[in-house]
Each structure stands twice: as C-alpha cells, then as structure tokens.
Amino acid sequence: MTGNTLIYRGSLKSCNYRCSYCPFSKRRTSARELEQDRAQWFSFLQSFPGQAAASGIRALLIAPYGEALIHPWYWEGLAHISACQNIDAVGAQTNLSFPLEPSLSRFTEHGGIKKKLRLWATFHPEMTTAEAFAGQCRRLFAAGISLCAGAVGVPKHKNLIQTLRRMLPAEIYLWINKMDGLGRPYTDEEQSAFLQIDPYFLRELAPVPSDKAQCAGRLFLEGNGSTRTCNISPPLPARSKIPDIPVPLPEPSCSRRLCSCYLAYGGRDNFLNRILFGPYPLFRIPRRPKAVFLDIEGTLLVQQNPGRPSQIPKNILAGIKALSFENIPLYFATTLPLREARKRCRPIWDLFSGGIFAGGAHIVQNAKTRELYYYLDQTDLSKLSTLEQNLHFCTLTYAHQGRPYKITLHRARHNPWRPEEIQALEQTIPWLRSPNIRYFTEQNCLQILSAKANKAAGVRTICSWLNISPREAAAAGDSPEDIGMLKLCGEPPYHPE
C-alpha cells in the first residue's frame, strides 16, 4: 500500500558545514532558535500519528535548510515516527557529518525500525574528502540503512565525483544534480562523464512542464506551520502557527512553468517516478525492477498539442534512457500491432527488448528470438464485410502466416462505437460471443482478440522467459486494458496522468 509523503522543513537554518555557496553556512543560530526548532519538532511528533493516519501520510522526509541529523532530537523523532504502524518510510537529507554509532544507537533505543530508515546524503567537497564521505556511506550500508548519495554536478569536481563513485558499493546510487548558476550548458564530454556516474542524470537536464494534478500526495511543512505543495511552489493559505498536518491535505497549488529540481519533479505522482524510485520517490533510492512493461498511447506517447500527433515528452525519454542505462529490460505493452508500435516509438525502439503487442495476441522477446501468437482461428470474416457499410467501419486484419490474431473494426474518429451497435454486431456475428474470443472498444476502434490474449498474460509469459516473478517487474498504463497487468506487477491502479 502506498500513501502520501510529508516533507518536514522545520525552522532549522543552520549547518555545521561552511560551504562557500550556501547561504545557511554563514548563518549563526542562537541557542534560543535551536531550542525553538527542537520544541516545534516535539510538538509535531505528538500530533503526528493521528494526523498522519487521517491525512494518508505514510512517509516522512526531513528536508531542512540546514543540517538536522547532528541534533540528537531528530534521531529520536525519526525513531518514533518509524515505529508508527501506518508509516512505511522515514528519512532525512543530510551531509552525513553526524556521529554514526551514537546516532544509530539513539535511533534504536527509541524504538526506531531500521528497515524503514532512508538517508539522502549529499557530498560537500569543500568540507570533507571523498574517502571520509564514502566511508560513512559504506558503514551505514553495512549497518543495513538504505541510502542514496550525491553531489552537485560542478564540472571542476568531475574527477572527484568519479573517485567517489569508485569508492561506493554498486548498490548505493550516486546522483548528480545539475549545477544551477553554471551559466552555460554542460559540454558533451561533461554530460557523458556525469551520465557514466549517474544513469538518471538526463532527467536533471530535461525540462519537466509543471502539472499540479500530479502533486496531490505530498506536502512541505515548516516549523511555523506554513505549508507548500513543493519546495518551489508558493505558500498555501496560512492555517496554523505550529507544524501540524492539515487534514485532509490541501489541494496542490503551483505557479511554476517547470518543476526544476529533484524535490519538485521527483515527488510528483507519475509512472516514471514510481518505476524508477518506487512508491516514495522523494527518498531517491532506485527501485531497479527486473523488467519494465510500458503501455504506449497515453503513457509513453502523450498528446502535447491538440490536433498534433502524440510524442514522447523529453522528461519521459530521459527516464526511459535511465532504465536502459541501468540495463533493465524494457518491454512495450500495447494494443497496437508491432509494426505500428515501431513506427510510433522509433526514437526509443532499440532501447526495448521486445513487447506485448496487439493487446497480448503477439508477444516478442529480443528481436523475435522468442515469439508467441494467440490466433483467432474460428473467425469467419466474410460476414464482417457485409456489415461495413451499414455500421460505418472498415475491417483491419492482422495476421501471421495467414492466420489472423487481431481484428480491428475501425471507424472515423468522431464516430465511436455505441453499446447498441455492438449488440447488433454480436447478434449478426455469432462467433463474437464465443468463449474463445474477447473484444473491447478503444476510442473509435473495436478490437477483437483471442480470449487468451491480454497484457497480464503477456507479462506472465515474458517474466517466465526471463525467469522472474511479475512482482519483480514494474508496469505502467492508463487504460482499462492495463488493469490486469498493473495488478499483477503490484502497481497502484491506473489513473490518467
């Protein structure tokens, strides 16, 4: 079960590091301010279990302006929250400078559940060495803590970040954030070097048009009670002076054109974030499924301008390339026949290992080294042609070696099939009622397939060829035809994105 994510910012604005570019490093915090932050945190903790349950919050990320984990009360609070039954994940952004043993002990002494803990660690080359930072990452990893590590993609730090990559276990993802203020695009050489380190780096460079409809499941909360949908969206109307969680979560609000950083685009509820980073993508810890099945129309291909053919948006393309750089086998899962799918997905065709085509009637693995068809052998097509004129459709038959496996009754776009017309069709063509046949409408098309053919069955077949369980795979789609496949892979039910 997945839920909403709360991002706690508190009021802490101080840090033990003094990085030259960071405004918070220059700010001194008084003992009074620290005490205020501590008091706000504890007041938040008190009301958290009830409010989180009522607002569907199942994950909490501390994303302070300064460094929180050097203060023991944050470890204590993380422990309490992790112990809440309805909470799946807790974590914090950190520079990793906290003392490891005492901090983890404090966490466990207060009932913390280690397997729910996730750390987002940022490397600050001005303040620590790659050896020290990687050493702390390795110790946390050895202690069973999930974490990601990363750095800002400063071109002059390229070699150092490469060194850091070599020092980290392969399981720890090392992300690179694009450098704001670079003042120029990355050179091809810089881009390819960073991409070698972070297979997801192209996502940092691709523009992500804002869409607040994907932001309903998270909330940023400050120590003074103010809230925002994301770190770059405007404050929501004030409702409290203390950090408590509004129930229900407020409607998202956004005035941005682009979601320009990971805390923004990485927290959106969409199929890419779920496939790349699991149900709580803001922790930035890759999910790395063993195979990925993707619907085409409405999922990979999106109509960006009315009247224009649908295209693969740049941010989706960057995500697909990330999966491919990670060597995760990709499969199409579409009602389109293979030839049409190839035509529409030419820019990404070679990144895929095969697919479930024609609604599951044609399954292909690795350039047809393995292939399976479910045929429509008992169909008599002659009757269809007699109905074409009266019911205003044309028949498209997809066949392999003369045996049909998919029939599409295609109508003009403005003339979708009505239920009474389908009923009339059924009465005239008895084989449509055969238990060996299934049919469904898709906009202006009526698709007829073998009853054995569907996307879920296709996923099962390919997973058996790969020797994996469908639960180890990920899938995305946006139509009723995708429901079985999504359920099989343990994905949340589809909703149009």
Residues forming contacts to ligand SF4 in the complex (CB under 6 A) are 210-212, 215, 229-230, 232-233, 252, 254, 256, 259, 264, 268
Do the Cβ atoms of 209 and 257 come closer than 8 Å? yes
Which of 123, 1, 8, 126 is CA-nearest to residue 62? Answer: 8
In the complex, minimum distance from the CB of residue 255 to ligand SF4, in angstroms, rounded to a whole number: 8
Which of 422, 405, 425 is CA-nearest to residue 363? Answer: 405
Do the Cβ atoms of 65 and 12 come closer than 8 Å? yes
Give residue for tokens 């017309």.
421
In the complex, minimum distance from the CB of residue 300 to ligand SF4, in angstroms, rounded to a whole number: 21
Do the Cβ atoms of 194 and 153 come closer than 8 Å? yes
In the complex, minimum distance from the CB of residue 496 to ligand SF4, in angstroms, rounded to a whole number: 16
In the complex, minimum distance from the CB of residue 101 to ligand SF4, in angstroms, rounded to a whole number: 37
Q: Nearest 5°: phi and psi at 474? A: -125, 155
SS3 355: strand
By beta-carbon proximity to ligand SF4, the closer residue of 228 and 321 is: 228
In the complex, minimum distance from the CB of residue 30 to ligand SF4, in angstroms, rounded to a whole number: 32
d(CA 14, CA 29): 6
- Contacts of 458 by beta carbon, 8 Å cutoff, 6+ apart: 293, 333, 356, 360, 363, 485
By beta-carbon proximity to ligand SF4, the closer residue of 185 and 235 is: 235
Which of 137, 119, 136 is CA-nearest to residue 74? Answer: 119
In the complex, minimum distance from the CB of residue 106 to ligand SF4, in angstroms, rounded to a whole number: 33
By beta-carbon proximity to ligand SF4, the closer residue of 268 and 274 is: 268
SS3 476: strand
In the complex, minimum distance from the CB of residue 264 to ligand SF4, in angstroms, rounded to a whole number: 4
Question: DSSP string covering 44-67, please?
Answer: HHHHHHHHHHHHTEEEEEE--SS-
By beta-carbon proximity to ligand SF4, the closer residue of 167 and 232 is: 232
- The separation between the first and the last C-alpha atoms of the chain, rounded to the nearest angstrom, is 20
By beta-carbon proximity to ligand SF4, the closer residue of 235 and 480 is: 235
By beta-carbon proximity to ligand SF4, the closer residue of 174 and 272 is: 272
By beta-carbon proximity to ligand SF4, the closer residue of 157 and 218 is: 218
